């Protein structure tokens, strides 16, 4: 029904049904208790009156002025009671005559509730029931006959327990309404889980639309799903515009830059080398490098077509470490790996991540004096990669800024590097895409330490 498509009405309806069900039980169940005082059916009333008349006929021969007349009264009662029955007679002065005194208090309690011989009733006590009163005339006075016998329809102890404990009744009511509450919980949680799944994919850079979000759950969830998909379409449109912008920037900047480099080459051929032409050529090369890095960063953020793969750490970084050993040997510096990468799996964009690690290692080679030290540490479900160098390092107040695009430090570490200020931004973007983090610290070697933390899958899992 369309009315249940709205979450507010769905919650209200289920609450109202549960409350109504509980109130009905509270009002109805007491009337269903077999232990309540109920009036006798005609057949039971006729049988009781017949028994009372039979006893009354035999009492004609028992005179009240006779010594111990009540003992003869008991004998008459005993002659008329059936197997399993016990008879009790209440005198006008509320004395109880019976052969078995065990149930006198029970009969007294019942007689206080049922004392009208014109409307006899019955009540169940555990497995027995009491019927009465039935009128017996004796000595010009009215006596009341009560019958104790096994109950015809005694209810189970469990049912008695329910009637005697309201909290248990409430618990059973909640149990009976559990299917409705579970359905409500499912109708709330299922669309929310799908929405979270879609949001997680967006957080990972996957901007595909989720049409099912507009068809599941209540109308509120459907409206949210529709808005979510509109947001994704707008993000994809903005991403396309940004990609086009970077492409246009590349074309518009590279064309005059190429002409400038050609003009400088012609000038140097005609007039020979000069400090001015060398300076122009260097700045042109720096600008060309900056445009290349900027486009590389843009491709990572907006135009990535690479597929994430699960690879063992030792295989993933093997070529990176081999190249680092070779390069260190060529430039006469020491490159050491304290703990080598393990066979634990890493889900990543392998080419981009390896390029980022090579970028950091080359920076360490560039700025170090003699030593570069690298370490792979496994901590629960994460791998911690550290790259240390013994170079000049970075000031403490700049450690959290060096990953910003175009940020250049004022230290000697960056003043002569000729870098574009985009290398570490590209590194951070690559690591974050693989759900990792990267930060800079002071190195125990005296220079800079770069720490990369990435989630892994333990070997054998």
Q: Give, in degrees to the nearest 5, the angle at Cα 63 between 58 and 64.
A: 115
CA distance 122 to 105: 16
CB 160 within 8 A of CB 79: no
CA distance 311 to 317: 10
Catalytic residue among 61, 80, 251, 461: 251
Residue located via tokens 């290692």: 361
Active site residue 461: no
What is the 3-state secondary structure of the chain? CHHHHCHHHHHHHHHHHHHHHHHHHHHHHHHHCCCCCEECCHHHHHHHHHHHHHHHHHHHHCCCCCCCHHHHHHHHHHHHCCCCCEEEEECCCCCEECCCHHHHHHHHHHHHHCCCCCCCEEEEECCEEEEEEEEEEECCEEEEEEEEEECCCCCCHHHHHHHHCHHHHHHHHHHHCHHHHHHHHHHHHHHHHHHHHHHHHHHCCCCCCCHHHHCCCCHHHHHHHHHHHHHHHHHHHHHHHHHHHHHHHHHHHHHHHHHHHHHHHHHHHHHCCCHHHHHHHHHHHHHHHHHHHHHHHHHHHHCCCCCCEEEEHHHHCHHHHHHHHHHHHHHCCEEEECCCCCCCEEEECHHHHHHHHHHHHHHHHHHCCCEEEEEEEEECCEEEEEEEECCCCCCHHHCCCCCCCCCCCCCHHHHCCCCCCCHHHHHHHHHHHCCCEEEEEECCCCCEEEEEEEECECCCC
Which sequence positions are flagged as catalytic? 251
């Amino acid at each position: 029904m369309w009315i249940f498509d709205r979450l507010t009405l769905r919650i209200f309806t289920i609450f109202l049904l549960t409350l109504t069900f509980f109130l009905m039980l509270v009002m109805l169940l007491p009337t269903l208790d077999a232990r309540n005082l109920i009036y006798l059916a005609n057949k039971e009333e006729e049988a009781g009156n017949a028994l009372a008349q039979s006893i009354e006929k035999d009492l004609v021969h028992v005179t009240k002025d006779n010594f111990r007349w009540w003992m003869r009264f008991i004998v008459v009662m005993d002659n008329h009671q059936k197997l399993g029955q016990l008879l009790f007679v209440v005198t006008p002065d509320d004395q109880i005559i019976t052969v078995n005194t065990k149930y006198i208090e029970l009969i007294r309690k019942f007689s206080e509730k049922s004392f009208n011989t014109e409307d006899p009733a019955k009540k169940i006590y555990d497995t027995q029931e009491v019927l009465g009163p039935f009128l017996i005339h004796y000595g010009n006075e009215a006596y009341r006959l009560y019958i104790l016998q096994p109950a015809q329809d005694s209810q189970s102890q469990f049912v008695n327990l329910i009637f005697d404990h309201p909290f248990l009744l409430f618990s059973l009511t909640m149990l009976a309404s559990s299917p409705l509450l579970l359905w409500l919980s499912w109708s709330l949680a299922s669309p929310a889980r799908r929405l979270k799944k879609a949001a997680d994919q967006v957080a990972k850079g996957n901007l595909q639309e989720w049409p099912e979000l507009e068809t599941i759950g209540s109308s509120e969830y459907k409206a949210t799903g529709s808005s979510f998909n509109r947001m994704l379409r707008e993000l994809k449109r903005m991403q396309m515009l940004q990609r086009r912008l970077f492409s246009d920037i590349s074309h518009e900047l590279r064309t005059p830059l190429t002409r400038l480099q050609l003009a400088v080459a012609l000038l140097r051929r005609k007039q020979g080398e000069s400090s001015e032409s060398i300076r122009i050529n260097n700045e042109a090369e720096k600008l060309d490098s900056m445009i290349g890095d900027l486009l590389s960063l843009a491709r990572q953020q907006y135009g990535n077509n690479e597929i994430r793969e699960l690879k063992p750490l030792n295989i993933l970084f093997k070529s990176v470490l081999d190249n680092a050993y070779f390069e260190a040997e060529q430039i006469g510096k020491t490159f050491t790996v304290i703990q080598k990468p393990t066979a634990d799996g890493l889900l990543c964009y392998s080419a981009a991540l390896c390029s980022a690690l090579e970028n950091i290692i080359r920076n360490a080679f560039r700025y170090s004096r003699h030593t570069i030290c690298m370490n792979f540490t496994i901590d629960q479900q994460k791998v911690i990669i550290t790259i240390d160098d013994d170079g000049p390092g970075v000031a403490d107040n700049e450690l959290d800024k060096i990953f910003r695009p175009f940020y250049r430090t004022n230290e000697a570490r960056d003043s002569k590097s000729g870098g574009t200020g985009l290398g570490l931004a590209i590194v951070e973007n690559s690591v974050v895409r693989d759900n990792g983090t990267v930060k800079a610290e002071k190195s125990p070697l005296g220079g800079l330490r770069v720490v990369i933390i990435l989630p892994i899958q333990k070997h054998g899992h």
